[in-house]
Amino acid sequence: MTTIGLVRHGITDWNIQGIAQGSSDVPLNETGRQQAEALANRLSTEEDWDLIISSDLSRAKETAEIIGRKLHLPVSHFDTRLRERSGGKIEGTTEEDRLEKWGADWRKLDLAMENLDEAADRGLACIEDILEDFSGQRVLIVSHGALIGLTLKKLMPDKFHETSMDNTSITILKNAESRWDCSLYNCTVHLQKSESY
């Protein structure tokens, strides 16, 4: 059986301000680092992981590195397919900015945003490669909220119609005999236990 843990990165200033990040390289803030530490502490007391793979964007990369230090696991590689769905022209804007610039129907306009299916497909391709290359292992993937959600919907459409991923949440998927099972979804119990929250 192959186990995949999907982790959303820690929080950033743009998350707090409601600014669309997409493929913009926005760093974690101090709270985001504390969240990553809280998750790392939790993971260190649970089952062992064999390797960590991360998006190359700094908010995911730093989350992965904080976890890796605690688990004594280097991040084995940074995969651009795990980047957040590109927001095109909306990156760096708030909902208020978008309404002002493009009006209430901004979602219907061509603002150079990455197609939902294309984003889901690259997330899925990455998971399929991991399944092939690291069969029988336990792999942590550190990525981004929308990309994780889109990938889950593509992977298990009967189970996931809508998704909402919290910062440093962990979702655990198990694959046995080509069947996927989700044993944990969007879990942030480590944040409730952390004195910082």
Backbone angles phi, psi at 64, to 5 degrees: -60, -40
Q: In the structure encoding, which two tokens stand for residue 98, read together?
A: 């978008």
CA distance 64 to 141: 8
- Distance separating alpha carbons of residues 158 and 24, to the nearest angstrom: 32
| Tokens of residue 31, six digits | 């709270």
Annotation says 84 is catalytic: yes
Catalytic residue of the set 9, 37, 65, 91:
9
The edge-to-edge listing of strands for the beta sheet with 138-143 is: 75-78, 51-54, 138-143, 2-8, 170-176, 179-187
Question: Among the options 37, 62, 65, 84, which is catalytic?
Answer: 84
Residue with tokens 């926005």: 26
Is residue 161 part of the annotated active site? The answer reads: no
What gap in Å lies between CA 169 and CA 96, rounded to an integer? 27
Catalytic residue annotation: 9, 84
